Structure 1
Amino acid sequence: MTALVSARMFSGVSSAWRTLRPVSTVLRLRDEQQDDVAAREALLDASFGLSRFEKTCERLREGRIAADGLSFVATSGGAVIGTLRFWHVEAGCCESLMLGPLAVSAEHRSLGIGKALVEHGVSRARKLGHRAIILVGDAPYYAQFGFSRDTTLGLTLPGPVEEARFLGLELVPGALALARGRVVGTGLLLDGRRRDGLRLAA
């Protein structure tokens, strides 16, 4: 799926596109393709540096495949300028998604591209029947999408994080109400096998 916007036409898949500042190039929001991988990784390196591999959330992603149908890029002139992916996790007793990393190239920030990616991703996750999303990120920013700390109070991550940045969003009311315990990665490994996340985390 592709959304196309220009300086005077913001009629894409997300209302966030209509808040974009006028720009001279056409912006597209679409599902990530195999040919985007190298550009995506370069964008993440430029945005976060190699220290991104040391983050606690990376422990839940490493060696795994992102959730099916939930990897997106924003492009301008054919170049990848934004990226967002979601991952399968088990949050206590609740099968959930983890959002991130979200990145936009430095020269395209403050245009609403990150907001468009998040809104589109959350909408797609809801349509696919997922129940909840967790993330580690800036609370004031993610509050606009409905994420809050209240939904993750009973959960822990496999490493240190600032507690105020550990947020959740219930796509189904009450989905995280009974979530207690450690968050673990689940889903497919890069070799195509599915393995118990609890056993992997041990």
Structure 2
Amino acid sequence: MYSLATEQPEDWWEVEALYDLCFAPGREALSSYRLRDGAPPVAALCLVARDADGILGGAVRFWEVRVGAARALLLGPIAVHPTRQGEGLGGLLMNQSLGAARALGWERVMLVGDAPYYGRYGFAPLTGVEMPPPTNPDRVLGLPLVPRAWQGVAGKVAPAG
């Protein structure tokens, strides 16, 4: 059993250590990190999952970006500790955070990831959306949180600021 909570400032180092464990060294060199540089995450959507003993099992963060003139959420990173994978924790984090984004009035979410995995949550390839290089355009995926939210949205992805 896991409890989900909004990430707090005191969780930061532990979440960063989880991301370091789950992703390749140099993860911060990825283009998506350029969109996060100097910008705070959308705190209300950043969740941590802890077991009954308070041990961190997973985390997800979101950042506000612009796609052309449209406002969007950039999902990621999302990670589950290797010893906790296969327990549905990633799905729990994904579903809870996307539900919270909808409830807060966000219209669209995007990420860079594997279509077969994220497709189960409704994400599909975005055409006309340009992530900073080097990003494989086939891995740029979007999810409308309201009907037709991605319709007509195109352009370069840039920090919200």
TM class by shorter-chain length? over 0.9
Residues of 1 paired with 2:55 and 2:38: CA distance?
A: 26
1:66 maps to 2:38 = no
1:93 Cα deviation after fit: 2.5
Letter in 2 for 1:70: L
Q: How many residues align?
A: 160
Q: Which gives a bigger RCO, structure 1 or 2 (Cα 8 Å, sep 6+)?
A: 2
Q: Give unpaired runs (5+ residues) of structure 2.
A: none
Letter in 1 for 2:99: S
Question: More strand by proportion, 1 or 2?
Answer: 2
Counterpart for residue 134 of structure 1:
110
Deviates more, 1:67-76 or 1:113-122: 67-76
Extract structure 1 runs of 4+ deviating beyond 4 A. none
- Matched residue SS, 2:28: helix
1:144 Cα deviation after fit: 1.0
Deviations 1:76-104 (A, max 9, x none): 21121201011101112211100000111
TM (norm. structure 1) is 0.76
Identity between Structure 1 and Structure 2 (%): 38
Q: Is the contact made by 1:134 and 1:169 (CA closer than 8 Å) also made in structure 2?
A: yes
Deviations 1:23-77 (A, max 9, x none): xxxx211111111111001101111143111111111111110013011001121
Residues of 2 paired with 1:44 and 1:164: CA distance?
A: 23
- Matched residue SS, 1:40: helix
Counterpart for residue 50 of structure 1:
25
Counterpart for residue 12 of structure 1:
none
TM (norm. structure 2) is 0.95
Counterpart for residue 122 of structure 1:
98
